[in-house]
């Protein structure tokens, strides 16, 4: 292990002797803030390339290696690699390190779009499962371990199980049991824990996948911890995963010129947590308890993860860093609440559906910000009456579209746009997802059903943004021209 002062990348970047050095290397701004007005507003003084003393992200031996070792201790992993290309590069690298072309993979249908990009690149054979719908919360719940076990028994030739825990909404699954299934059937379990980097760091939160030694765990530092966007980690916890192959694919899916601003953000965040974790998390829990106490007086709005009740149907555990405001009992839509918080209170939530608004809480939230948020929700609760809406949620009975062609086969076909009513029983030629969270609603090669069109219409009527890798035209769907 290097000396403590050698592990602080940001301190090394700020060192006076370094800042006075003459950069006859990339990048081209040469740390010269006086060159152009916009450079004065950017931290170019910390923007360097791999030069002596600053190590190499794709072949770490010194200062970056020390950060990786510190991450191992924090999350109790076997090996940890850093990513400045978000969790997306970690997911793609993990899939490529463990799978070969046309392998079979068992995965949650609520996985992020990067997983489906991995399926397409490797031309994998996907077998999907969907978490059970929770009527209490109006969101997808945890994975039913028994249903997953039955699926594994029917697909013993699968090489990997890939799932999301916690989900975008904060729902966790029983990783201990699922890892046991993976071990029993000699499969690799990869857990997309992008939204749960804070788990395993405090007993006040549910245990994350590292605590149960999931084979691969992917985490985004920037979602709930104090680090910059695009900063992530990938952990290995078993000998089933080749570190050599993972390193090779991390170098493949990351830039060969990684930003030292982002690397220093990762290193500083890990160092700060390493020395101040307990103090930071204790303060965070007090803030979460404050929110819970304040929102107990809500009459119509429902703060799902901050009630005393903890036995929601089909939910194994939930992450209280997610504040989900359910709207079933109030006469206001998700879009209306989302816009009201922004326009009247200058509060920007994470996302909305017709049924709820999601807010992300972190240890960086200020007490005055939380006071403003709770006051706003209490005011909105008082000024809006009880719900007059018909109780309906299309996800409750939604079935996964039937796969007719692989993603690659469908993308190679000629395609055309047709109106929604004419798309029934045709084969979709594009991915469609709600943004956020960029979880595909339908994939190329899948058959379009009336149920899917009903769901898509519901999202559009709720003013949820629909996106695609192709141009998405409202009212139209790109289908294979067979």
CATH number of 357's domain: 3.90.1150.10
- Give first-to-last CA distance, the chain, whole Å: 61
**CA 145 to each of CA 50, 264, 349, 368, 403: distance values in angstroms, whole numbers, following the listed order:** 46, 40, 32, 42, 24
**CA 88 to each of CA 85, 237, 254, 365: distance values in angstroms, whole numbers, following the listed order:** 7, 19, 10, 26
User: How many CB atoms are located within 10 Å of the residue 414 CB?
Assistant: 8
8 A C-beta contact, residue 175 and residue 165 = yes
- Region 342-359: mean pLDDT is 96
- Region 184-212: mean pLDDT is 97
pLDDT at residue 7 tops 70: no
Q: Which of 175-189, 259-273, 430-444 has the lowest mean pLDDT?
A: 430-444
Confidence category of residue 471, pLDDT binned at 50, 70, 90: confident
Confidence category of residue 258, pLDDT binned at 50, 70, 90: very high
316 with 370, same domain?
yes
Higher local confidence (pLDDT), 126 or 436: 126
Say what the pLDDT of residue 253 is. Answer: 97
Range of the domain at 360: 277-383
325 with 364, same domain?
yes
- Does residue 172 form part of some domain? no
For residues 265-286, b (16+ Cβ closer than 10 Å) or e, as one string?
bbbbbbbebeeeeeebbeebbe
pLDDT at residue 396 tops 80: no
pLDDT at residue 296 tops 50: yes
- Region 266-288: mean pLDDT is 96
**What pairs with residue 104 in β-bridges?**
125
Element (H, E) at 230: none
Domain boundary among 350, 383, 416: 383
Confidence category of residue 320, pLDDT binned at 50, 70, 90: very high
8 A C-beta contact, residue 213 and residue 176 = no
Say what the pLDDT of residue 479 is. Answer: 97
Pairing assessment for the beta strands 188-192 and 216-220 based on DSSP bridges:
parallel
Summary mean pLDDT of the chain: 94
424 with 465, same domain?
yes
Whole-angstrom distance, CA of residue 146 vs CA of residue 140: 17
Domain boundary among 383, 414, 444: 383
Which tens digits make up the pLDDT trace of 405-429?
999 999 999 999 999 999 999 999 9
- Cα Rg of the chain (Å, integer): 23
Whole-angstrom distance, CA of residue 219 vs CA of residue 225: 10
450 with 356, same domain?
no
For residues 235-264, b (16+ Cβ closer than 10 Å) or e, as one string?
bbbeebbeeeebbebbbebbeeebbbbbbb
List the structure tokens of 190. Answer: 């990869």
366 with 311, same domain?
yes
Percent of the chain topping pLDDT 90: 86
332 with 421, same domain?
no
409 with 372, same domain?
no
- Region 146-174: mean pLDDT is 97
- Region 69-83: mean pLDDT is 97
- Strand ranges inside 66-215, DSSP E: 79-83, 104-108, 125-129, 133-134, 139-140, 160-164, 171-172, 188-192
379 with 404, same domain?
no
- Does residue 38 form part of some domain? no
**What pairs with residue 236 in β-bridges?**
79, 216
List the structure tokens of 291. Answer: 């929110």
421 with 373, same domain?
no
Name the nearest CA neighbour of 451 among 397, 402, 383: 397
What are φ and ψ of residue 426, in 5° steps? -90, 170
Whole-angstrom distance, CA of residue 25 vs CA of residue 30: 8
Which tens digits make up the pLDDT trace of 12-64?
999 999 999 999 999 999 999 999 999 999 999 999 999 999 999 999 999 99
Which tens digits make up the pLDDT trace of 177-196?
999 999 999 999 999 999 99
- Does residue 460 form part of some domain? yes
377 with 402, same domain?
no
Percent of the chain topping pLDDT 70: 96
Task: Show Cβ contacts of residue 261 under 8 Å, excluding neighbours closer than 6 positions.
Answer: 43, 46, 47, 228
- Does residue 423 form part of some domain? yes
**What CATH number should be reported for the domain holding residue 436?**
3.90.100.10
367 with 402, same domain?
no
Confidence category of residue 473, pLDDT binned at 50, 70, 90: confident
Say what the pLDDT of residue 392 is. Answer: 62
Domain boundary among 360, 383, 406: 383
Name the nearest CA neighbour of 336 among 270, 387, 297: 387
What are φ and ψ of residue 99, in 5° steps? -125, 155
Say what the pLDDT of residue 108 is. Answer: 96
pLDDT at residue 1 tops 50: no
Element (H, E) at 124: none
Say what the pLDDT of residue 144 is. Answer: 96
What are φ and ψ of residue 453, in 5° steps? -65, -40
Q: Tell me which residue has tokens 């006040």.
A: 204
Tally of domains within the chain: 2
Confidence category of residue 4, pLDDT binned at 50, 70, 90: very low
Q: pTM of this prediction?
A: 0.95
User: How many CB atoms are located within 10 Å of the residue 476 CB?
Assistant: 15
List the structure tokens of 244. Answer: 């050599």
């Amino acid at each position: 292990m290097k000396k403590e002062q050698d592990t602080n990348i940001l301190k090394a970047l700020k060192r006076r002797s370094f800042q006075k050095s003459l950069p006859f290397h990339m990048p081209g701004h040469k740390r010269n803030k006086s060159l152009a007005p916009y450079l004065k507003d950017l931290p170019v003084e910390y923007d360097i390339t791999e030069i002596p003393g600053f190590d190499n992200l794709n072949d770490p031996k010194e200062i970056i290696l020390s950060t990786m070792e510190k991450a191992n201790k924090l999350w109790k992993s076997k090996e940890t690699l850093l990513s400045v290309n978000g969790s997306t590069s970690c997911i793609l690298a993990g899939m490529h390190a463990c799978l070969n072309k046309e392998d079979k993979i068992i995965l949650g249908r609520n996985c992020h779009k990067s997983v489906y990009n991995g399926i397409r690149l490797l031309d994998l054979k996907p077998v999907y499962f969907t978490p059970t719908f929770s009527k209490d919360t109006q969101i997808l719940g945890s994975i039913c371990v028994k249903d997953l076990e039955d699926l594994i028994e029917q697909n013993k030739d699968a090489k990997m199980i890939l799932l999301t825990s916690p989900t975008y909404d904060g729902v966790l699954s029983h990783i201990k049991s699922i890892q046991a299934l993976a071990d029993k059937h000699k499969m690799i379990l990869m857990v997309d824990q992008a939204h749960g980097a804070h788990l395993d760091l405090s007993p006040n939160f549910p245990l994350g996948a590292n605590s149960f030694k999931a084979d691969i765990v992917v985490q985004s530092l920037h979602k709930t911890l104090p680090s910059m966007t695009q900063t992530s980690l990938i952990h290995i916890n078993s000998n089933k995963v080749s570190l050599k192959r993972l390193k090779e694919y991390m170098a493949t899916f990351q830039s060969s010129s990684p930003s030292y601003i982002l690397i220093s953000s990762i290193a500083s965040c890990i160092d700060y947590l390493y020395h101040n974790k307990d103090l930071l998390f204790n303060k965070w829990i007090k803030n979460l308890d404050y929110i819970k106490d304040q929102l107990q007086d809500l009459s119509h709005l429902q703060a799902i993860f901050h009630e005393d009740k903890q036995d929601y149907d089909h939910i194994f555990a939930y992450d209280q860093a997610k504040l989900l405001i359910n709207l079933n009992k109030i006469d206001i839509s998700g879009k209306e609440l989302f816009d009201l918080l922004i326009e009247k209170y200058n509060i920007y939530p994470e996302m909305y559906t017709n049924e709820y608004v999601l807010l992300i809480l972190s240890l960086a939230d200020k007490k005055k910000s939380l006071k403003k948020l709770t006051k706003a929700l209490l005011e909105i609760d008082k000024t809006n009456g009880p719900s007059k809406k018909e109780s309906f949620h299309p996800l409750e009975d939604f079935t996964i579209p039937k796969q007719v062609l692989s993603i690659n086969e469908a993308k190679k076909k000629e395609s055309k746009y047709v109106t929604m009513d004419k798309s029934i029983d045709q084969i979709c030629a594009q991915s469609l997802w709600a943004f956020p969270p960029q979880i595909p609603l339908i994939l190329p090669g899948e058959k379009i059903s009336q149920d899917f069109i009903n769901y898509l219409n519901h999202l559009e009527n709720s003013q949820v943004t629909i996106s695609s890798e192709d141009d998405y035209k409202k009212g139209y769907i790109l289908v294979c021209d067979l």
